[in-house]
Structure 1
Amino acid sequence: MNRENLQRGVLAPLIRDFIAMRNNLGYKSQSCKFSLFAFDRVAFGNGLRTIIITAEMATEWCNRRPNEATDTWSHRNCFLRQFAVYLSNLGYETYIPPLVAGPRQDQFVPYIFSDEEIKAIYAACDSLALYDRHARTNIMVLPALIRMRCSTGIRIGEAVNLRINDVNLEQNYLTLRSTKNGTDRLIPFTEAMSDICKQYLKYRKLLPANSDFFFVKLNGCYCRANGFCGWWTKILKIAGIKHRGLIIGPRIHDLRHTFCIKSLAHLLKEGKDLYYILPILSTYLGHKSLASTDRYVRMTSDMYPELLGKTDSICSYIFSELNHQ
């Protein structure tokens, strides 16, 4: 069945305009799109034939459902609230639902790897071996992929989406395209990382030419970003680092947190002026604002209290207190 046929309510054209506006502003709106069109179908089924969102409709939609995760509930409410504000700005009579408290992300503390643990992770990656023939495994990319993430701080999704032409081994930089926040970035890397990439490419050229992605499975096909969980758990076990579960980790994403925090700590130790460095690092990491980079520091304030004091003096006049709702 054509999905467009299901999006037949009176709100559907305005939802399409709203999603288009979000996309033009650089936001990825797939989840928002599905949620709002689901609301439109429910409203149409309940007899809505005029452009309006009533308090009764919004309250019923925003009520938390049995066994629903806080994150899912919060996002569904947020999407409807944003759309209601959009309708109000267009002059339509609409009820704007209040914000609901989302998960308190500031209570989460990422795992920051020590230099010794990073070395152990590298050694673990190099020691991985297959005990049977499995062409769809991504084992071959792990030594280079993990080292690239540790040395550049890029997201796992950004790494697996790299094409061969995006990795410039003559001038040593990566070209990241259509990243999480809808922007492209150039990421420099070291000569040592360049040598590792060249070594990886020597073996990659022996694989079937099924795609032009830089990191591929043994069959030459694309590696999914969520396809490394099993290997990551095994790497931590070999490295002697206790794994406490998918949520608590240490997660593979904590390599990015480690890069950010250790970069700031290194710059601070060298006496660099964080007033100038923090915006540069924020842009380098692909954050939309200084608030995101500042949150990295706050989550690890117990380990690096000197960083929190420094960033406070820079960021306090921009955002006095972070709000994670």
Structure 2
Amino acid sequence: MSEARPYKSSLSIPIEGYIAEKQALGYAFKKGSALLKIFDSYVHSHCPTETVLSKELVIEWTARKPNETLSTQCGRISLLRGLAEYMNRIGYSAYVYPKAMNTVNRYSYIPYIFSNIEVKRIFEVCDQYPPNSCAPNRHLVLPLLLRMLYGCGLRISEAVQLTIQDVDLNSGSLYIRNAKFNKERILPISESLKERCLEYCKTVDIGRLGNPYFFPSPFGGHYSESTLYKLFRDVLWRAKIPHLGRGKGPRIHDFRHTFAVNCLKKWVLDGRDLNNSLPYLSAYLGHEDMRGSQRYLRLTADLYPDITSKIEEICSYIIPEVRQYEAD
């Protein structure tokens, strides 16, 4: 018996072809595939005989939903724009959503930067986090994983996907593979973090039953990002750090932003030449270009007014201008 096809709509062939093309180019395309599965179900239910990607269908499916952020809507629009361009290339009729009709500034979000006191409280809570019978290593995984995010500026997806082989405790380095923008990199870790990793390896039975991940889930594979988000919300509550609501943080990803700002602050106070140093930060963080790293200069200047003059003196011309609406 042949395996059931995951896509069932009249547009399933171009949808599957588009996904295959993106993956052949080296993109993981997990979120895109998941969204296209939802779109495929929508087409199958609402217009089962549709053979073209019409303007009406595109506008209807990409309409902004209640309580949906503009960036989320733009993500769905961008996805269907890519699908339409692919369909047109292979001979299908498809409406391409104009780029000028709906755009979002990917750098407009103002991240939450944890203070040293807040970081201390978070780690104190993590170090005392209660064991759980269903997840016997949870109280050991959480404090190390959050320290790794804070000390190395990792994305949460990069941390959970670390395998045992990716964590080289002889050289004290992490090998980040299959990262965003396909930027693999090797990151050094501090001596204190290395010692914690060594202690973790002695305590947690990693590699059990052939599980290759450094942060193994009790249910197989690695810890999921959604599970860690929930645990982090609980840690914030126990640390008495208020959560500011939907989209305002603090988020677990803000450890990465805090790492970058603290790094720049130290460099400025040490008198480092940021013109030469900033590309190193960009490479370390795995940024696609310099814009993301340059944005941290403005955040550092805004958070630490006493060093603003030093930043402006050294590299004012590469600090991105922040429009009023971006800071609201």
Structure-2-length-normalised TM-score: 0.78
Output the CA distance in 1 between the equivalents of 2:238 and 2:47: 55
Higher deviation after alignment, 76-85 or 256-265 = 76-85
CA distance in 2, matches of 1:242, 1:68: 22
Indicate if the aligned counterparts of 2:185 and 2:286 stay in contact, CA closer than 8 A.
Answer: yes
The 10-residue stretch of structure 1 (38-47 or 273-282) with the greater mean CA deviation from structure 2: 38-47
In structure 2, relative to structure 1, the CA distance for the partners of 1:281 and 1:133 (3 Å cut) is: same
Are the aligned partners of 2:295 and 2:319 in contact in 1 as well (CA < 8 Å)? no
Q: For the residues of structure 2 that align with 1:240 and 1:76, how far apart are their CA atoms?
A: 36
- Matched residue, 2:292: 292
Residues 1:207 and 1:83: Cα distance change in structure 2 (over 3 Å): closer
**Structure 2: how far apart are the matches of 1:213 and 1:90?**
40
- Residues 274-318 of structure 1, C-alpha deviation per residue, up to 9 Å, x if partnerless? 2222222112111111122233444565214638746652376xx
Deviation at 1:167, TM superposition (A): 0.9
Separation (CA, whole Å) in 1 of partners of 2:211 and 2:163: 9
Q: Distance in 2 between matches of 1:217 and 1:265?
A: 36
- Deviations 1:121-155 (CA, angstroms, capped at 9, x unpaired): 2222222233x644456111122222222111112
- After TM superposition, the structure 1 stretch with the greater mean CA deviation from structure 2, 17-26 or 182-191, is 17-26
Structure 2 residue 5 is the aligned partner of structure 1 residue 3: yes
Q: 1:31 to 1:204 in 2, by over 3 A?
A: closer
Residue 116 of structure 2 corresponds to which residue in structure 1?
A: 115
Is this contact kept in 1: 2:166–2:174, CA < 8 A? Answer: yes
Rounded to whole Å, the distance in 1 between the matches of 2:48 and 2:207 is 56
Q: Structure 1 residues 67, 110: CA separation in 2 closer, same or farther (over 3 Å shift)?
A: closer
Counterpart of 2:318 in structure 1 is: 314
| Residues 53 and 95 in structure 1, CA contact (< 8 A), matched pair in contact too | yes
Residue in 2 that maps onto 1:82: 82
Q: Work out the number of aligned pairs and report it.
A: 316
Asked whether the equivalents of residues 156 and 253 of structure 2 are also in contact (C-alpha less than 8 Å), the reply is yes
| 3-state SS of 1:228 partner | helix
Task: Write the distance in 1 (CA, Å) between the matches of 2:93 and 2:4.
Answer: 31
The range that moved more, 118-127 or 185-194, is: 118-127
Q: Which runs of 5+ in 2 are unaligned?
A: none
Which structure exhibits the higher relative contact order, with contacts defined as CA atoms closer than 8 Å and separated by 6 or more residues?
1
Distance 1:117 1:57, change over 3 A: closer
Question: Which digits, 9 at most, give the CA deviation of each residue in 1:228-257, with x for residues without a partner?
Answer: 234323433444433334632322211111
Aligned to 2:184: 184
Per the normalisation by structure 1, the TM-score is 0.78
- How many Å separate the matches in 1 of 2:221 and 2:34? 29
State the identity as a percent: 32
**Distance in 2 between the 1:34 and 1:80 partners?**
13
Alpha-carbon displacement from aligned partner over 1:79-109 (angstroms, at most 9, x marks no partner): 2223334455668765432234356655532
Please say if residues 137 and 204 of structure 2, whose CA atoms lie closer than 8 Å, have aligned partners that are also in contact: no
For residue 187 of structure 2, give the secondary structure of its aligned residue in structure 1. strand
Deviation, structure 1 residue 201: 0.9
Partner SS state of residue 27, structure 2: coil
Task: Report 1:152-301 matches (<5 A).
Answer: 152-205=152-205, 208-209=208-209, 211-217=211-217, 222-245=222-245, 247-298=247-298
Q: Aligned in 2, Cα 1:39/1:239: closer, same or farther, shift over 3 Å? A: closer
Note if contact 1:106-1:299 (Cα within 8 Å) is conserved in structure 2.
no
Cα–Cα, structure 1 residues 62 and 202, in superposed 2: closer, same or farther, change >3 Å? closer
Deviations 1:30-61 (A, max 9, x none): 34345556369839946555xx6554454444
Q: Give yes or no for contact 1:85–1:96 (8 Å, CA) kept in 2.
A: yes
How far off is 1:193 after superposition?
1.2
Shift of 1:217: 4.9
